[in-house]
Structure 1
Amino acid sequence: MTTTPLHGDSHPDGPKTENDGKQSVGLKKQIGLVSACAIIIGNIIGSGIFVSPKGVLENASSVGLSLIVWAITGAITAIGALCYAELGVTIPKSGGDYSYVKDVFGEVAGFLRLWIAVLVIYPTNQAVIALTFSNYILQPLFPSCFPPDTSLRILAAVCLLVLTWVNCSSVNWATRVQDVCTAGKLLALCLIIVMGLVQICKGHYFWLEPKHAFTTQQDYDMGRVALAFLQGSFAYGGWNFLNYVTEELIDPYRNLPLAIFISIPVVTFVYVFANVAYVTAMSPTELINSNAVAVLFGQRVMGVMSWIMPISVAISTFGGVNGSLLTSSRLFFAGAREGHLPHLFAMIHTNRCTPIPALLFTCLSTLLMLCTSDMYTLINYVGFINYFFYGVTVAGQIVLRIRQPDLKRPIKVSLVWPVVYLLFWVYLLVFSLYSEPVVCGIALAIMLTGIPVYLLCVYWESKPKGFNNAIGAVTHLCQKVCMVVYPCEEEEEAADGEAVEN
């Protein structure tokens, strides 16, 4: 199968220019302030608020401290987002923090960021959301005990396979699934917060009173509090997704920071009050012993209408898996464009214009993550490694200020904020390593496996002819099986036309 490689002006993230009489198609600046806020809020609010409360409360040891953890995590998220806003308009490239780390710290650091995202972050995130979906579907069928692990894994795998098929089949189908699931997400959260306020008005606020809120069954431990922050940070994951579409923002110098100022406080408010609502209907012990807190909450406060809650959360988490599959292809494309991933991952189906190889790879890696059904261990994996690279990226902001002080920065935040973020970052990583050395150590070890892979596959350019022929043969075989090619100008124009019609 003949393929047309992506070069310069012809890639989908480049500007629309004319070169040698040919017109390239690029992404347009069509995302305004409202859409930017929707991207941030929609990507942050997913499964986290329905699964992380247990982990946060268990490690924080008291209701009062757990609510403080949720609020501080929101504040730290806002600071990190502001630092990313400066980087986003200073280095206006697709790929988000992968591009920033690569430009500031070099090819190897950028590759390791991509490597860990491909192997750990996206697959783990999708596995956690799929397992949350399974928990909320099956928990009503097992009211007096936890659902069997095997059942959880099988249903999570079915969810993942169905959504991979949807995303491979049609971008329009995937976006329609996302629209429906977003409605379910908002319904569930609105119900939880409103019913929580009703509970407070009825006088059910025992665990919110200061003398009870900070009651603990064990002493506070700095390491466990760090794990509470990791669990909470999972629920705030997705705050940096707007940086993946900086090139498409209308007036990014105004709308990028403004969207952050609006969206992060809204999400923080929703998360804090959702957790307030939970403890109006159940004790801390009951919350910790439940893997589906929203189901238990619905059973306690909604009576015969309690079935609405598991259905709403299941729809929400179903959409969370779908949204993660949708966004992962952009990172795969950015990595393949830089030569850090096989070119196969930048290919799309000849008729459907969907990134089938990238979707199949992330599906397979997520299925491997489902070998464990312990969501909270998986959250510690992804939380630790995510925060590790968030800190590296924010440190890059300071390095760039020192290295290129005169570089044009349309958005320039005070260096106080990246310093505050990095101080919190050091605390979080040090005490997380102390509390969970095996989990965090394995995450770091997986990241470091990227070094020999980089040396072999990227740095070593004079590979034997037989090696290149073998890679080429595998690539062409996969092209024929998946019916995919590199995006060309005609296909991109057709895809744009279809999108406009729909």
Structure 2
Amino acid sequence: MDSDECEEDANTISCQNLIQRFTKKRQKPEETKDEVTETVQDKRRKITLANGVAIIVGSIIGSGIFISPKGVLANAGSTGAALVVWALSGIFSAGGALCYAELGTIISRSGGDYAYILEAFGSLPAFLTLWVITLIIKPASQAVVALTFATYMLQPIFGDCPVPYTAVRLLAACCLCLLTGISCASVRGAMRVQNVFTVAKLMALFIVIVLGLAELFAGKTENLTFTPYLEDAPLNIGKLSLAFYSGLFAFGGWNYLNFVIDELQDPYRNLPLAIFIAMPIVTLFYVLANLSYFVVISPTEIIASHAVAVTFGLKLYSWLKWVIPLFVSISTFGSLNGITFTAARIVATGANEGQFPAACGFLHQKLLTPIPALMWECFLALTLLLFPDVFSLINYLSFALWLVSGASVTGLLYLRWKLPDIERPIKVPLVLPVTFLICCIFLVLVPAIVTPLDTGIGVIIVLAGVPVHFLIQKSSSSSTVQKYSDKFSRFCVALLNVSPVNVQNT
């Protein structure tokens, strides 16, 4: 047999193996799992459609819409252009979410981007995704959101005085521990928190919107224009791209439901349906909230403000000075709950793939919650609270978020080419993932051009995971490492009453 024939046979075998991996996951449960494991899987599916909508909406809407919409306005140049950017950012995020809906119904397992990149591109790219998201981005996001919650919760108490640094961090740490404890105790409990605070933050935004629209209908329209508010700073493509970057960053969290798809009831129906419901809600509230800000506050005042919603309240009614910080606290608390709940599922998926300590993938034998993974992410977030400049970590790795999203959608296109006949409950038009991928490439390049130093530091952090990956691979075959790993697993089993998923008690 000549070399071409050998290569053809090898490709055929590789393709067949890939098909077998996917078809095995697509078979009915009784064909691939024993009765005990399937019962456990059924018990874990506690996230309803309403919970799924709350996860998406609650994770997207955090403190940003109350504090700093000025990033979009400063680069869009005018209030009219800024509103268009907000609307297009929502549409773009919805398109990305639909691409992820197709991925989530093909690869129906928790872990989100990590699971998709693992299936499409293999171990190393998946580990780098795990490395960046679970070790840095997620805990840093938890720390930042917790600090924002604590700052605005304490602000009414201290009035015009600065909020003490230590008090902020202590309250942030208490908030992290509380929400981690709730997620450890009950999936339904965490979902109740998410539902309640999602409704509360929507009500808070609704109040802002109603007050702003009342001013609009009273005839206050002088701030609504497409004319640049600074005559010497006309709109250009570079600034417009930065405006979109700020807008899209505010929509971060649209893919969080994919992280917990193993626990979603009827995922083939509820995943896309939750996206169809949640994304228009967020986009509508974001556009109307910004419209309200622009009606009441002039562009120069928005640019100068450190908390736009507080400025908005002071311009209308003095009592809102005390209410707006409460709105921000409610919003950040719900957002932090969503981040905490979903981050642990990525850790657990990585552990089940052998790229994290095995114990991090264990579930509580009765509660069926990933307690070790939740505690690990909480520990990292608490550690980052000790650093005064935790915000810089997110700046360094903001490009990585779009790099990961682009890699996931590239995996979608690859699977369409490699496995065209695999059952796809959802199949979005090809133009959608292609357009999304092009935009992701653009969004990766923007910070590289605008902030090359921060991006360079971020690239170094990402590449630092390469030797760690090979070290893990090498040590996994070591009897000594395995011995200590087994000891740690037994310690977690004894202390936390957890066990591997495939041996859960029913």
State TM-score, norm by structure 2.
Answer: 0.83
1:311 is aligned, of 310, 326, 330, to 326
Structure 1 CA distance for aligned equivalents of residues 429 and 381 of structure 2: 39
Counterpart in the other structure of 2:117: 101
Q: Does the Cα contact within 8 Å between 1:223 and 1:434 map onto a contact in 2? A: no
Give the C-alpha shift of residue 244 in structure 1.
3.4
Alignment counterpart, residue 394 of structure 1, candidates 409, 423, 427: 409
For 1:445-468, what per-residue CA distance to the aligned partner results, in whole angstroms no more than 9, with x for missing partners?
A: 2222221111111355432x3333
Q: Show the 5 A alignment for 1:465-484.
A: 465-484=479-498
Is residue 422 of structure 1 aligned with residue 466 of structure 2?
no
Pair 1:384 & 2:399 matched? yes
Kindly indicate whether the alpha-carbon contact (under 8 Å) linking 1:138 and 1:147 is maintained by their aligned counterparts in 2.
Answer: yes
* Match runs of 1:256-271 below 5 Å: 256-271=271-286
- Provide the residue aligned with 1:284 in structure 2: 299
Whole-angstrom CA distance in 1 between matches of 2:318 and 2:437: 46
Q: Does 1:449 align with 2:464?
A: yes
Gaps of 5+ in 2: 1-24
CA deviation profile, 1:185-208 (whole Å, cap 9, x unmatched): 122111111111012123333221
Number of matched pairs: 478
Match of residue 7 from structure 1? none
SS in 1 for 2:360: helix
Calculate the TM-score normalised by the size of structure 1. Answer: 0.83
- Letter in structure 1 aligned against 2:372: P
Deviates most, 110-119 or 170-179: 170-179
Question: In 2, distance between residues paired with 1:412 and 1:296?
Answer: 45
2:360 corresponds to which letter in structure 1?
Answer: F
CA contact (8 A) 2:53 2:278 kept: yes
Greater shift in the superposed pair: 165-174 or 176-185: 165-174
Quote the offset at 1:231 in angstroms. Answer: 3.0
1:117 maps onto 2:136 in alignment? no
Match of 2:190 among 148, 153, 174: 174
Which residues of structure 1 form unaligned runs of 5+? Answer: 1-10, 494-502
Q: Distance in 1 between matches of 2:425 and 2:403?
A: 27
Shift of 1:111: 1.4
Q: How far apart in 1 are the matches of 2:495 and 2:273?
A: 45
Is 1:200 the counterpart of 2:216 in the alignment? yes
1:81–1:260 contact (8 Å) kept in structure 2:
yes
Q: Distance in 2 between matches of 1:141 and 1:290?
A: 21
CA distance in 2, matches of 1:338, 1:171: 23
Q: How far 1:389 sits from its partner (Å)?
A: 0.6
1:293 aligns with 2:308: yes
Match for residue 344 of structure 2?
A: 329
* TM-superposition CA deviations, 1:296-350 (whole Å, max 9, x none): 3223224335433322321221122122212222222211111121112122446
**Aligned counterparts of 1:18 and 1:428: Cα–Cα separation in 2:** 41
Measured at CA, do residues 75 and 65 of structure 1 come closer, stay the same or move farther in structure 2, by a change above 3 Å?
A: same
Q: 1:41 aligns with which of 28, 35, 57?
A: 57
Change (3 A) 1:420 1:396: same
| Compared CA separation, residues 169 and 411, structure 1 to 2 (3 A) | closer
The match for 1:67 is 83
Q: Deviations over 1:75-98 (max 9, x none)?
A: 211221122122222222222221
Given the alignment of the two structures, is residue 156 of structure 1 paired with residue 172 of structure 2, yes or no?
Answer: yes
Per the TM alignment, residue 490 of structure 1 is displaced from its structure 2 partner at its CA by 5.4
**Does the 8 A contact of 1:131 with 1:152 survive in 2?**
yes
Whether the aligned pair in 1 keeps the contact of 2:493 and 2:499 (CA below 8 Å) is: yes
Task: Determine the C-alpha separation between the residues in 2 that align with 1:41 and 1:222.
Answer: 30
> How many angstroms does 1:471 deviate by?
3.2
Which AA in structure 2 matches 1:472?
A: D
- Percent of residue pairs bearing the same amino acid type: 44
Secondary structure, counterpart of 2:210 in structure 1:
helix
Q: Is 1:431 the equivalent of 2:446?
A: yes
Q: Distance in 1 between matches of 2:483 and 2:423?
A: 44
Q: Equivalents in 2 of 1:261, 1:172: separation in Å?
A: 23
Query: What's the secondary structure of 2:69's corresponding residue?
Result: helix
* Shift, 1:123, TM fit: 1.1
Q: Deviations over 1:455-490 (max 9, x none)?
A: 111355432x33332333344445555454435655
Aligned-partner residue type, residue 432 of structure 1: P
- The C-alpha deviation readout for 1:9-33, integer Å capped at 9, x for no partner, is xx9xx94779777564243477676
In structure 1, how many angstroms separate the alpha carbons of the residues matched to 2:447 and 2:455? 7
Letter aligned with residue 407 of structure 2: V
Please identify, of 231-240 and 369-378, the stretch whose mean Cα deviation from structure 2 is larger.
369-378
